[in-house]
Amino acid sequence: MSEPSPDLLLFTTEGCHLCEVATQLIASVIDLERIYVELVDIAEEVDSDRLIETYGERIPVVQHTASRKEINWPFSAEEFQQWYLSLDEGS
């Protein structure tokens, strides 16, 4: 059985303390059993040069896969929740 497509991508990299904080914050806001968040290590992907150029100064960044809308760090739990809820409104 194949893995489901992610609902959200979290661009991160190893040793990123802010990324760990963002991961915990996201988990406190959404149901990770229902919403699939894929961690994308920008330094480990096939297209790492492009990802590092795009996200290297901004991580952690969360991207909604369907709309490609993003929220950049820093964001609070409330800001993340408002951003996430606004995705439905924009559909």
CA distances from 78 to 12, 30, 67 (A): 21, 11, 20
Q: In a structure prediction context, what are the per-residue pLDDT tens digits for the chain, which is 91 residues long?
A: 567 899 999 999 999 999 999 999 999 999 999 999 999 999 999 999 999 999 999 999 999 999 999 999 999 999 999 999 999 876 5
pTM: 0.92
Measured CA to CA, the distance from residue 17 to residue 15 in angstroms comes to 6
Highest CATH level, class, for 8-89: alpha beta
Closest CA to 74 of 66, 85, 87, 83: 83
Domain boundaries, the chain: 8-89
The residue count for the chain:
91
Residues 6 or more apart in contact with residue 17 via CB below 8 angstroms: none
